[in-house]
């Protein structure tokens, strides 16, 4: 078989990492009962807390985090892959990593990814976010090979705000990723406007599955997140979704051969041309030269 079953978890994480670990475990058990082989949780599974002092007092190292320890235990107990969409991890330099972890069926970490793009924005509703004040951005794109029996896949890792930067997903696709991931804690305002559009676009332009677990609802720290955890096929079709912002799971079967079929029909990766460097860029407008060389 070239298929496996994926589940995305929708959570409403609070300010207590131990309570969040219990909520996470309950949803994992629901996904296991639905015969999921791969289970993804949202961004900030372990703690959703805007207060920096409280966050710094509660977070732990990767090995000591209660959610990470729970994920390792459950992956091994059930023989499944568990992808922590992200947890806040204390670093030795006093900063924090927004870190995704993928656990194999033996409970060991297969891959980790630190969120690259920091959510530094000012929204129309008065919300202001400066992730860069607390979090250290990652530097590396990560693609991890995964096996589900005979089904083989290559999964590209990303987190939330990363989805607004299509070049990251394109690079992962060029590295062989046929499944792209974007676990998130999207704000309600940005989610209503952009969530489905961005995720379907990333799927369509790369001919890849997109799996995005989400936080949803009003959290202990007062923020409101959009929810709508979703699984999208490589043609851009929605295969499963937790409609709304309540906790729950969405499950879909993933055909690991479908991405190649879609890419053969619409060969975006093969036909793409690179205009980032070394090509002539034509500028039109007042004060602009007609042609410039962009060589660096």
Which residues, at least 6 apart from 265, have a Cβ–Cβ distance to it below 8 Å? none
pLDDT tens across 69-103, in order?
999 999 999 999 999 999 999 998 888 999 999 99
Residues of the chain with pLDDT under 70: 1, 120-121, 123-129, 275-296
Q: Annotated catalytic, 43?
A: yes
- Which domains, and CATH codes, for the chain? 3-265 (3.60.110.10)
Which residues, at least 6 apart from 42, have a Cβ–Cβ distance to it below 8 Å? 9, 10, 11, 13, 85, 86, 183, 184, 185, 213, 214, 215, 229
Closest by CA position to 8, among listed 195, 270, 232:
232
Cα–Cα distance measured from residue 37 to residue 149, given in angstroms and rounded to the nearest whole number: 10
Q: Annotated catalytic, 76?
A: no
Q: How far apart are the first and last CA of the chain?
A: 46
- The predicted pLDDT at position 1 comes to 66
Cα–Cα distance measured from residue 186 to residue 101, given in angstroms and rounded to the nearest whole number: 19
Instruction: List the catalytic residue out of 43, 131, 172, 241.
Output: 43
Question: Per-residue b/e over 218-244, b at no fewer than 16 CB within 10 Å?
Answer: ebeeebbbbbbbbbbbbbbebbbbbee
Pair 208, 173: CB distance under 8 Å: yes
Pairing of strands 38-40, 179-181: unpaired
pTM of the model: 0.91
Instruction: List the catalytic residue out of 131, 160, 172, 241.
Output: 160
- The predicted pLDDT at position 294 comes to 42
pLDDT tens across 195-206, in order?
999 999 999 999
- The predicted pLDDT at position 112 comes to 97
- The predicted pLDDT at position 126 comes to 63
- The predicted pLDDT at position 279 comes to 58
Question: What are the Cα distances from residue 239, in Å, to 97, 163, 246, 251?
Answer: 31, 19, 19, 8
Instruction: List the catalytic residue out of 19, 76, 115, 296.
Output: 115
Closest by CA position to 38, among listed 296, 251, 263:
251
Pair 208, 179: CB distance under 8 Å: yes
């Amino acid at each position: 078989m070239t298929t496996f079953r994926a589940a995305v978890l929708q959570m409403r994480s609070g300010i207590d990492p131990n309570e969040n670990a219990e909520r996470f475990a309950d949803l994992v058990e629901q996904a296991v009962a639905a015969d999921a082989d791969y289970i993804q949780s949202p961004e900030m599974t372990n703690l959703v807390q805007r207060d920096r002092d409280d966050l710094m007092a509660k977070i732990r190292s990767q090995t000591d985090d209660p959610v990470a320890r729970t994920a390792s235990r459950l992956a091994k107990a059930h023989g499944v892959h568990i992808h922590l969409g992200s947890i806040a991890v204390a670093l030795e330099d006093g900063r924090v990593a927004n870190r995704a972890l993928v656990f194999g069926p033996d409970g060991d970490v297969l891959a980790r990814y630190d969120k690259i793009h920091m959510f530094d924005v000012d929204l129309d509703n008065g919300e202001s976010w400066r992730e860069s004040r607390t979090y250290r951005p990652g530097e590396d794109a990560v693609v991890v090979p995964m096996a589900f029996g005979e089904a083989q896949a290559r999964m590209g890792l990303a987190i939330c705000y990363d989805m607004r930067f299509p070049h990251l997903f394109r690079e992962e696709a060029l590295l062989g990723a046929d499944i792209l991931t974007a676990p998130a804690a999207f704000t309600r305002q940005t989610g209503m406007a952009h969530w489905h559009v961005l995720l379907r676009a990333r799927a369509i332009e790369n001919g890849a599955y997109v799996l995005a677990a989400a936080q949803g609802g009003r959290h202990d720290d007062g923020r409101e997140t959009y929810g709508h955890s979703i699984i999208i096929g490589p043609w851009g079709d929605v295969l499963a979704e937790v409609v709304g912002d309540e906790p729950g799971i969405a499950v879909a079967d993933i055909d690991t051969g479908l991405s190649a079929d879609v890419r053969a029909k619409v060969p975006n990766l093969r036909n793409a041309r690179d205009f980032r460097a070394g090509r002539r860029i034509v500028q039109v407008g007042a004060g602009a030269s007609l042609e410039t060389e962009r060589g660096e």
